Each structure stands twice: as structure tokens, then as C-alpha cells.
Amino acid sequence: MATEKLIFTRRGFGIGLVGGAAALALPMPAMALTVDQARALVDKAIGEVNATINSGKSEGGMFGDFERIFSRYADVPVIARSALGPAARGASKAQMSAFTKAYQGYIARKYGRRFREFIGGEITVTDARPVKSYFEVISVAKLRGESPFEVRWHVSDKSGKNLFFNIIIEGVNMLASERTEVGAMLDKRKGDIDALIADLKTV
């Protein structure tokens, strides 16, 4: 299945990496999670991202690393359910499990391809704060030849572990963008979730 090639610029990075329709309910209050723990989680994730993009590995060699980072630090089931949108309510348990696994690999490859253009840059955590029912960790990304821009990570412990469930780059929302994109992919397949799962594995 062909995918649209995006030009990797400061704005293109933000739109391509995260991006439209924040219709996912926010996590319940993170009673046990602290601002320091949220910051530490993102610090670790960013450290591994920086190490991967500057490891000298080929594009393909990075995919496994990005998938491990994503599965370790992101609330993948929450992100996947949000991406599938209303169709998730009609999906069977087996379909949701298969979709979540396929989506995890798809996201790793999708972001991995774009992060290849990030070689020589870095992301650094600068601040963290509580926001309603979760914590927001603020970082600054620096790409070669571009002025720095802000990346915000939303962290919660709703799933029983400290995990990030959303990323916002210059106001572009990951949950929103992924939901729009996956929704369009599902529409092309006339709502066939199994066909979507099969195609996600090949992208």
C-alpha cells in the first residue's frame, strides 16, 4: 500500500509525526503519579530516541528500536483505540488485540522513517507540570538547519503504569491526527477492520 511521502521540515515534522480530532476522553486523575516521575519517564524515552537516531543504524535497523521504545513508554492500547475511533466500539476483542499489535509496528516504522531525517538533532526536556487529570512534560527539539520548537508529552498512570498517551508538536495533536488518518484508511476499506489490520502490517 503506497504512502504519501512527506517533506521533512520543521512544520512537516510536527504534522507528520503527531497530528487532528482529540476525541479521546482524558485519563482519570493520576493520583500516584508525580510530576518528577512523569518527567523522568519522558527523559528516559527521549534518551532512547536520541540514542537510536544517532546510532548510525540504517532506516530498517531503527524500526525495531522505535517499536521497543514505543511499547515501553507509550500507552499503546489507549493510543490505538483512539486511532481506530468509533469503529473500536464494534470491534471484537481479538480484532482490537490484532489491530493494536499491527498499529504498534506501523507507528514504529512511520516515525522511524521520519526520525531518520532527525539525525544530528536532539530533543531535551525543559519542564513538567500537572494539567487537570494528567501531567504535561515540555521538551525542545532541535533539527539541523531549523530553529528549536516545542514538543509536549502527556503522561498518565491510568493504565497502572506511568506512560505517555499523547504528544503535541507546535499545537499539532497526535491522538487527533492519527484518528483522522486511520479513519481515512478504514473508510477506503469500507470499514473492514481485518483488511486495515492486514494492510498496516505492510506499510
Q: Is residue 174 part of a domain?
A: yes
Q: Is residue 14 part of a domain?
A: yes
From the first residue on, what is the mean pLDDT of each consecutive set of 10 residues in the chain (203 residues)? 41 48 42 88 92 84 90 95 95 97 91 71 91 93 84 94 91 90 96 96 89
Report the alpha-carbon distance of residue 101 to residue 181 in Å, rounded: 17
Q: Is residue 3 part of a domain?
A: no
Q: Is residue 4 part of a domain?
A: no
Whole-number pLDDT of residue 27: 46
**pTM summary value:** 0.80
Pinpoint the alpha helices (H) of 56-126: 59-73, 76-84, 87-90, 93-115
Whole-number pLDDT of residue 117: 66
Domain of residue 115: give its range.
10-200
Domain count, the chain: 1
CA distance readout (Å), 59 to 2, 109, 136: 18, 9, 30
Q: Is residue 1 part of a domain?
A: no
Q: Is residue 2 part of a domain?
A: no
Whole-number pLDDT of residue 42: 96
**Domain harbouring 28, CATH code:** 3.10.450.710
Q: Who's near 82: CB < 8 A, 6+ residues apart?
A: 23, 24, 175, 178, 179
Q: Is residue 155 part of a domain?
A: yes
Is residue 52 within 8 Å of residue 73, measured between CB atoms?
no
